[in-house]
Structure 1
Amino acid sequence: MYTRKIYPIKTVLRWTRRYIFLFILIATVPVVFYELLGCKWLHLPWLPIGLVGTALAFINGFKNNASYDRLWEARKIYGGIVNASRVLATMVNDFITNEHAHKERTEEEFFQIKKTIIMRHVAWMTSLRYALRVKKTWETSYSNKSDKEHMREIEIQEYANTLSEALDGYLSDSEKEYVLSMTNKQAACLNLQSKHYKALKLDGLIEDFRHIEFKNMIEELFTLQGKAERIKNFPYPRQFATLNLFFVWIFVLLLPFGLMHEFDEIGQSFLTPGDTNLFFKTISEIFVWLSIPFSIIISWIFMLMERVGDVSENPFEGMSNDVPITTISRGIEIDIREMIGDDKNEIPKPFAEIDNTQM
C-alpha cells in the first residue's frame, strides 16, 4: 500500500544531469589532447584501471547493501507503527467501559474519551515524523542541488508547515503548549497518554489488567520510536561513505585515459598493412572518439549507484526512495479514526501523490 512507484529513465537522467554534463567534459578533454593535439603518450594501461573498477564495484555493493538494510529496517518500523496503531484503536473501543466505573458514562462521553486518545496518538505520529525530518549534518540531500530541487517539487509537508500548525485540532491548548515546550515532543505525547490511562483507571473506566495492556502499548510505541530515532540519529559510518565517493571520482577521472587507447587500438585493427580502403580508414581514425560515450555511460552507472546508496542510507529525509512516513501516518489516522466511528466528514483525505511520489 505504501510504496514508491518506479521512476522512468527520464526522471533518473534529470536527477543526475549535472553529473552527466561533468562526465561529458571529463571524457572529452583527454581524447581531444590524444587525437587532435597528437599527445599519443597521454594514456594509461587498462589493467590497473580495470582493477580499480572491480574493487569499486565491490565497495559500492557493500555500501548499497548496508544502505538498503537501513531503509528496510525503517520501513519495518513504520509497519510496526501501523499494526500497533490499529491494535490501540481496538483496545480503545473494547477496554473502556462502565463495567467497573465509579460513575457511568454515556455513549457520547465514551466517544469523546476514545477520540481524545486517538487524536493524541495522531499527535504522537505527527511529532515523530517531524522529528525524523529534522536536518542532520551528515545528510547529503540538503546540500545536493538535484536532491533539493526534487524535494521542492514534491512539497514535503514537514518542510512546508510547522509542527505547531500540524498539531492543531489534535491536542487541547494546554496539551499542545506542554508538548511544544519539551525537547522530545513525541515522548511528551506518550507521557500524556500514560497520564490519561492512569486517570481512566482511577475513575474505574479500566481495571488493572486493561491498564497494564495500555501500558504495554505505551512501551511498544516507545520501542518503535526509539528504533526510528536510532536510524535517524546514527549515520551510516562516514569513513565508508566518504571513501566510497572518493574512489568513484578517482575511477571516473582515470577511466577516459584507459579507454581511449584501447578504442584507438581497436580502430587500428580495422586496417591491414597497405590497405587503402577509405571506409575502413575513416573508421580507424574516428574509432577513438567512441571512447567518449562509453566513458560517460560507465561513469554514470558507478555514480548513479553511489547516489542511490547515498540517499538510501538516510530513509527519512523525504527523497523519492525514502520511507513515505507522511503518507503512512495519514493512512493510519484514517484507519483508526474510522475504527472508533468518527465523523467521516472530519477525517482528512489521503495525501495525493506528486510526481509519482508518496511523501
Structure 2
Amino acid sequence: MIVTNTPGYRHIFREIWRPAALLFVWDVIVTVTYYVVPFTAPSLPLTLFGTALALFLGFRSNSAYQRWWEGRVLWGQMINASRSLARQARNYLPDEAKDLKRTIVLRQIAYVNALRCQLRRQPSDGEVLRFLSRGEADFALGRVNVANGIVDGTGRRINGARAEGWIDTIQQASMESILVDIANAQGGMERLKNMPLPSQYRFFPTIFTHLLCILLPIGLVDTLGFATPLGSSIAGLMFLVVLAIGDDLVDPFANTVHDVPLSAMCRTIEIDLLQAIGDPAPEPLRADAQGVLW
C-alpha cells in the first residue's frame, strides 16, 4: 500500500505514459485526417455515452473499493483476535504450562504468516518453519489449507490443556470462541480472494472505455481543432485512470503496491504476541524508498 503523502511522480509516470502516448498518437491521426478530409460528428450521442460510462465506472470503482476496505477490516479483526488469544493463553494457563503458552503464541504468528502467503499465492512452508519446528508444523503442512491446519492444531492443544486440568471448560470455550472469530475472518478473506467481481463488471467497462477513447477525438475535433490531441487525450486518460483504479483495488491481496499491507500487519501481530509473553520482538516494518508499505 502506498502510504506516503507526497505523490510518487515517477511511479505515476510509469503507470500512465503508455496509455497517454497511445491516446495522443490516435488523436493526432484523427486531427490530421480531419484537416485533410473534413468530416463532422454529432456531439450529443458522445456526451450521453461519456456520462453513462462515467456512472458505470464510478459504480465499479466503488464496488472494488468496498472489497479492498473489507479486506482491511478483516485483517483488523485478525489482529485483535490474535492479541486476545495470546492474552488469554498467558492469563488462563498456569506457570507449569509456560511452554504451551509460548507454543500457542508461536502457532498464531505462524498462522497469520501462512495465511498471508496463501492469499498472495506464495509458498508458505518457509514462513511456517520460521516459527515452528518441523515436528510442530508437519500436521499443518500436510493439509491443503496450511493456515487452517495450524488453527486446528491450536484447538487441539487448547483441548489438551483442558484435559490436563490447566483450564476449565469455560476458559476453553472462551479461547475456542476466539478461534471461531479467526476462522470467520479467514473465510471472509478467502471469499474476497477466490470470488472475483462478475465478468460483466470486468469485461464491459473495459470495452466501453476503450471505445469511448477511440470516439472522443472524432467527436471533439470539430470544436477543438488543433487542440484536439491535448484535450481528447486528457479526457480519455481520466476514464482510463478510473478503470485502472477499479482493477487495482478489486483484489486486496494481489501483492501489488495498491494492496492491503499484509506483511506489515503480520509483523504487528508478531511484535504484540511476542511481547505479550516477554520474548524479544522485531522492529515494525516501514515503508520502502518508494513509499510503499508491504
Q: Which residue of 1 aligns with 2:103?
A: 116
CA distance in 2, matches of 1:330, 1:358: 12
Measure the CA separation in 2 of the matches of 1:169 and 1:321: 27
Where does 1:166-181 land on structure 2 (aligned, <5 Å)? Answer: 166-181=127-142
2: CA distance, partners of 1:224 / 1:27: 49
Candidates 303, 310, 314, aligned match of 2:247: 310
TM-score by length of 2: 0.95
Q: Is the 8 A contact 1:4 1:320 kept in 2?
A: no
3-state DSSP class of the match of 2:129?
Answer: coil
* Deviation readout 1:144-194 (Å, 9 max, x if unpaired): xxxxxxxxxxxxxx5xxx422222231121232222221111110001001
Match for residue 272 of structure 1?
none
Letter in 2 for 1:15: E
Contact 2:2 2:257 in 1 (8 A): no
Structure 1 residue 331: Cα displacement? 1.0
Distance of 1:240 and 1:164 partners within structure 2: 35
Cα separation, 2, equivalents of 1:211 and 1:4: 40
Structure 1 partner of 2:89: 92
Match of 2:38 in 1: 40
Moved more, 53-62 or 19-28: 19-28
Q: List, as ranges, runs of 4+ consecutive aligned residues in structure 1 with deviation greater than 4 Å.
A: none
Question: Is 1:358 the counterpart of 2:293 in the alignment?
Answer: yes
Give the aligned residue type for 2:41.
Answer: L
Distance, in Å, in 2 between the alignment partners of 1:3 and 1:332 is 21
Does residue 1:13 correspond to 2:13, yes or no? yes
- Contact 1:3-1:324 within 8 A present in 2 as well: no
Matched, 1:125 2:112: yes
Say if 2:276 is the partner of 1:339.
yes
Shift of 1:9: 4.0
Instruction: Supply the AA of the counterpart residue of 1:17.
Output: W
CA distance in 2, matches of 1:18, 1:176: 47
Query: Which of 54, 64, 67 does residue 57 from structure 1 map onto?
Result: 54
Q: Residues 195-344 of structure 1 correspond to what in structure 2 (within 5 A)? A: 195-263=156-224, 288-342=225-279, 344=280
Quote the residue 2:283 is aligned against.
349
Aligned partner of 2:75 among 75, 78, 81: 78
Q: 1:317 Cα deviation (Å)?
A: 0.5
Q: Deviations over 1:130-150 (max 9, x none)?
A: 11112xxxxxxxxxxxxxxxx
RMSD of aligned residue pairs (Cα, Å): 1.6
**Distance (Å, rounded) in 2 between the aligned partners of 1:16 and 1:178:** 47
Do 2:111 and 2:128's aligned partners in 1 also have CA atoms closer than 8 Å? no
Structure 2: stretches of 5+ with no match in the other structure: none
Deviation at 1:336, TM superposition (A): 1.3
Distance 1:88 1:310 in 2: 36
Say which SS state the counterpart of residue 16 (structure 1) adopts.
Answer: helix
CA distance in structure 2 between the aligned counterparts of 1:13 and 1:231, rounded to whole angstroms: 30
CA distance in 1, matches of 2:210, 2:219: 15
Counterparts of 1:128 and 1:318, CA distance in 2: 13
Counterpart of 2:125? 164
CA distance in 1, matches of 2:159, 2:25: 68
Identity %: 27
> 1:90: Cα distance to partner?
1.1
Q: Is the 8 A contact 1:5 1:356 kept in 2?
A: yes
More helix by share: 2
Structure 2 match to 1:4: 3
Secondary structure of 2:107 counterpart? helix
Q: State which drifts further: 171-180 or 53-62.
A: 171-180
**Aligned residues of 2:118 and 2:124 also touching (Cα < 8 A):** no
1:167 is paired with a residue of what secondary structure?
helix
SS at 1:309's partner residue? helix
Identify the residue that residue 194 of structure 1 maps to in structure 2. 155
Deviation of the 1:3 alpha carbon: 7.3
- Count of residue pairs brought into register by the alignment: 292
TM-score, L = length of structure 1: 0.78
**Bigger radius of gyration:** 1
* 8 Å contact kept, 2:67–2:192: yes
Deviations 1:226-249 (A, max 9, x none): 011111111011112110011100
